Amino acid sequence: MKIHTQAVHAGDRKPAGPYIPVTTPIYTAASYFYDQVETIDQIFGHEKEGFAYQRYNNPTNAALEELMTTLEGGHGSLACGSGMAALHVAITAALAGRRRSILCAEAIYGATIRMLQNVFEPSGVQVAFVDIFDLSGFEQAVAKHRPGCVLIETISNPLLRVADLGELAKITRAAGAALIVDNTFATPMMARPLACGAHMTVHSATKYLAGHGDVLGGLITSDEEHFETIRALSRAYGPVLGPFEAYLTMRGIKTFPLRFERQCANAATVAGWLKNHPKVERVFFPGDPAHPDAAVIRKLFPENLYGAMVSFEIRGAERAEIFRFLDSLELIVPATSLGDVHSMILYPVMSSHRDVPPDMREQRMGIRSNLVRLSCGIEAVEDILADLEQALARV
pLDDT for position 117: 94
CA-to-CA distance for 225 and 205, rounded, in angstroms? Answer: 23
**What are the pLDDT digits (tens) for 292-311?**
999 999 999 999 999 999 99
Confidence band, pLDDT 50/70/90 cuts, at residue 202: very high
**pLDDT exceeds cutoff 90 at 366:** no
pLDDT for position 363: 67
Per the prediction, the chain carries an average pLDDT of 95
**pLDDT exceeds cutoff 70 at 30:** yes
For the domain spanning 3-251, the CATH number is: 3.40.640.10
How large is the average pLDDT for residues 66-93? 98
**What are the pLDDT digits (tens) for 107-159?**
999 899 999 999 999 999 999 999 999 999 999 999 999 999 999 999 999 99
List of residues 6+ apart from 228 with CB closer than 8 A: none
Percent of the chain with pLDDT over 90: 90
**What are the pLDDT digits (tens) for 306-338?**
999 999 999 999 999 999 999 999 999 999 999
pLDDT for position 361: 75
Q: Do domains 3-251 and 256-392 have the same CATH topology?
A: no
pLDDT for position 108: 92
CA-to-CA distance for 266 and 270, rounded, in angstroms? Answer: 6
Mean pLDDT is lowest, of 220-234, 279-293, 298-312, 340-354, for: 340-354
**What are the pLDDT digits (tens) for 84-110?**
999 999 999 999 999 999 999 999 998
**pLDDT exceeds cutoff 70 at 358:** yes
How large is the average pLDDT for residues 372-385? 98
**pLDDT exceeds cutoff 80 at 354:** no
What sign results for the dihedral spanned by CA atoms 19, 24, 26, 27?
positive
Cα radius of gyration (the chain):
21
Distances in Å between the Cα of 153 and the Cα atoms of 38, 163, 182, 229, 395 are 45, 8, 5, 22, 32
List of residues 6+ apart from 69 with CB closer than 8 A: 75, 76, 77, 221
What sign results for the dihedral spanned by CA atoms 373, 356, 160, 301?
negative
Angle 143-141-89 (CA atoms, 0-180°, nearest 5)?
95
CA-to-CA distance for 203 and 226, rounded, in angstroms? Answer: 17
CA-to-CA distance for 212 and 257, rounded, in angstroms? Answer: 14
Q: Where are the domains of the chain?
A: 3-251, 256-392
The domain 256-392 having CATH identifier 3.90.1150.10: the answer here is yes
